[in-house]
Amino acid sequence: MNTILEKLTLYDYIIVIGYLVALLVIGLLSSRKKEEGAEHFLAGKSLGWYSIGFNMWATNVGPSMLLAFATVGYTTGIVAINFDWYAFVFLFLLAVVFAPRYLASNVRTLPEFMGNRYGSQTQTILAWYSLVKMLISWLSLGLFAGGFLVRQILGIPMWQSVIVLVALAGLFAYTGGLRTVAKINIFQMILLILVSALLTFLGLSKIGGIGALIDQTPDGYWSLIRPANDPDYPWYAIALGYPVAAVAFFCTDQAMVQSVLGAKSLEQGQLGVNFIAWLKILSLPLFILTGIICYILFPGLEDPALAYMTMVTNLFPTGLNGLVIVVLIAVLVGTIGSSLNSLSTVFTMDIYLKHINPDAVGKQITQVGRYTIIVGCLVAVLMAIAIDQIKGLNLFDVFQSILGFIAPPLAAVFLLAVLWKRTNKAAVNTLLTFGSVLSLGIGICYLWVFPKDQYDFWPHYLMLSFYLFVALVCIGIVVSLAVKPSKYELEHLDQQFITLEKPSKKVKWAWGILFVVMIALYILFK
């Protein structure tokens, strides 16, 4: 298949150069206001609802989403949109249950939040778990997915594409912290919407419109709910298993929640979370529909993972191919930039300040965060290149299941800690250590030791995630009842259950309208 590189004209190069210049100008202007210390990582608590929503969406919409959604759209239709639309329930949980507690505690990281309740040991364990999780699931896999797309579309080697992409993303996180990353992401996500909408429009125009598209798709392609015997997405697996990953991803992940921690007020934070839930509705017309259109226009692809690349290399007219390169840079910079900022925040606040140099202040704290970004960039590049050497592994199918095995300990720990006063340090530390070993160990068996395609005794990976979550919650309850809380826990218990600020009328209306719209969409596509 031809690459876009062969079709680039002078106009395309002008588009790419113009975009990069605009990106640099926005980055430089937003980084002029220097914040030192903790303020560098949380944008001086200055983010409004639109900045929070766009930044969270930019963190979420990585290159792997462009690939994965187009792929599943090509093979199965719209059912995978559940992974974005069903998320509104758990984003609501973040807005009304977790965010008020995070902001009232005035914490900079989620390990710090748990440390305030259960002590330094818990904070350290969760910090290291978070660092490893971000390096693998956000930085390395995200960067590899971006490099994979760039290599397929432009025809350049993986090592060149990942170095350029991570350097660009790291530049903004290094110079300006969360404020700069958030400003950049507003610009980039608006651009992503416009370019993705153009691709969808071009595809629909070639087919003959929505009516022609629906007429030519197989039965079941437009259904959100699949029967229980569906091998890929049975309804019960999504209903029970997806919430485990969603709670861990949206409510307990530093990269996702950091924008909320930088909110200028609780109301702005809650409205920002509401905004990303609205943005997620766009995943159907912007991403899933690309794969469905490709199924009609280019049936019989040898590898469905090529659906997105096939669309962009065949539909964009001469002179506009530069927009595709722009979008690839945008989604990569959005995800990697936010992840690098979160990585540096956790290491600096929870490891460096807690154990290495508790007396550090101001510029020294900021500098350590910047050094962490550099190290994170290097590690991510090396791991992405190493992943590229793996042969015979459908990484994008495995990606969701990996998240499903990382999630149960985090979901169990945070839900028990926030919703049940009796939860104690012994239970939390047990779930973060033994629970993580159990969950990840079963994940390794599922993916590599006794792979599901060779051993049919495994349940669906989403149900496996659900069973692990239930088992860990039960273990947490038993340990909490069997072990008395420490003196530290009793002294700090009231700090976690203080009177919280109630949602404003504006917040209630925003979420009420969203619930009505989401219920209507599920009825429409049932």
Domains of the chain, CATH where assigned: 4-389 (1.20.1730.10), 390-485 (no CATH)
Q: What is the dihedral of CA 103, 107, 112, 116, to 10 degrees?
A: -70
Per 3-state DSSP, the chain is made up of helix, strand and coil in percentages (nearest 5) of 80, 0, 20
Check pLDDT > 50 for residue 517. Answer: yes
CA–CA separation, 222 and 219 (whole Å): 8
CA–CA separation, 69 and 289 (whole Å): 9
Asked whether 74 and 291 are in contact (CB, 8 A), the reply is: yes
Q: Residue 438 corresponds to which tokens in the numbers above?
A: 């159990």
The torsion region of residue 44 among left (phi > 0), alpha (psi -120 to 50) and beta comes to: left
**Dihedral sign from CA coordinates of 12, 15, 16, 18:** positive
Q: Give the pTM.
A: 0.85
Q: Nearest 5 degrees, angle CA 424-CA 427-CA 433? A: 135
Check pLDDT > 60 for residue 397. Answer: no
Q: Residue 277 corresponds to which tokens in the numbers above?
A: 């839930």
As a residue count, the chain comes to 526
Q: pLDDT tens across 74-120, in order?
A: 988 898 899 899 999 999 999 999 999 998 888 888 999 998 888 88
Least confident of 300-304, 310-314, 317-321: 317-321
Check pLDDT > 80 for residue 17. Answer: yes
**For 252, how many CA atoms within 13 A lie in the half-sphere containing its CB?**
28
Phi then psi for residue 31, to 5 deg, are -95, 5
Beta pairing partners, 104: none
Asked whether 32 and 340 are in contact (CB, 8 A), the reply is: no
Phi then psi for residue 319, to 5 deg, are 100, -15
Write down the mean pLDDT value for the chain. Answer: 82
Q: pLDDT tens across 260-306, in order?
A: 988 889 999 999 999 999 999 999 998 899 999 999 999 888 878 77
% of the chain at pLDDT higher than 90? 28
CA–CA separation, 344 and 377 (whole Å): 11
Q: pLDDT tens across 243-270, in order?
A: 999 999 899 988 889 889 888 899 999 9
Beta pairing partners, 234: 226
The torsion region of residue 48 among left (phi > 0), alpha (psi -120 to 50) and beta comes to: beta
CA–CA separation, 494 and 488 (whole Å): 11
Q: How far is CA 351 from CA 229, 319, 348, 357, 421, in A?
A: 47, 49, 6, 9, 27
Check pLDDT > 70 for residue 394. Answer: no
Residue 375 binned pLDDT confidence (cut-offs 50, 70, 90): confident
Q: Where are the alpha helices (DSSP H) in 77-224?
A: 82-85, 87-93, 99-105, 110-118, 120-133, 141-154, 158-207, 210-216
- Which residue type is seen at 404? G
Q: Supply the angle between the helices 322-346 and 362-388 in degrees, to the nearest 10.
A: 130
3-class SS of residue 139:
helix
Check pLDDT > 80 for residue 176. Answer: no
Q: pLDDT tens across 462-472, in order?
A: 899 999 999 99
3-class SS of residue 320:
coil
CA–CA separation, 282 and 271 (whole Å): 18
For residues 160-183, give the mean pLDDT.
Answer: 64
Neighbouring C-beta atoms of residue 505, cutoff 10 Å: 8
Residue 498 binned pLDDT confidence (cut-offs 50, 70, 90): low
For residue 108, the model assigns a pLDDT of: 84
Q: pLDDT tens across 326-337, in order?
A: 777 777 776 777
CA–CA separation, 303 and 288 (whole Å): 17
CA–CA separation, 176 and 262 (whole Å): 14
Residue 173 binned pLDDT confidence (cut-offs 50, 70, 90): low
Highest mean pLDDT among 129-138, 222-231, 241-250: 241-250
Residue 37 binned pLDDT confidence (cut-offs 50, 70, 90): very low
Q: Residue 514 corresponds to which tokens in the numbers above?
A: 């969203």
CA–CA separation, 57 and 185 (whole Å): 9
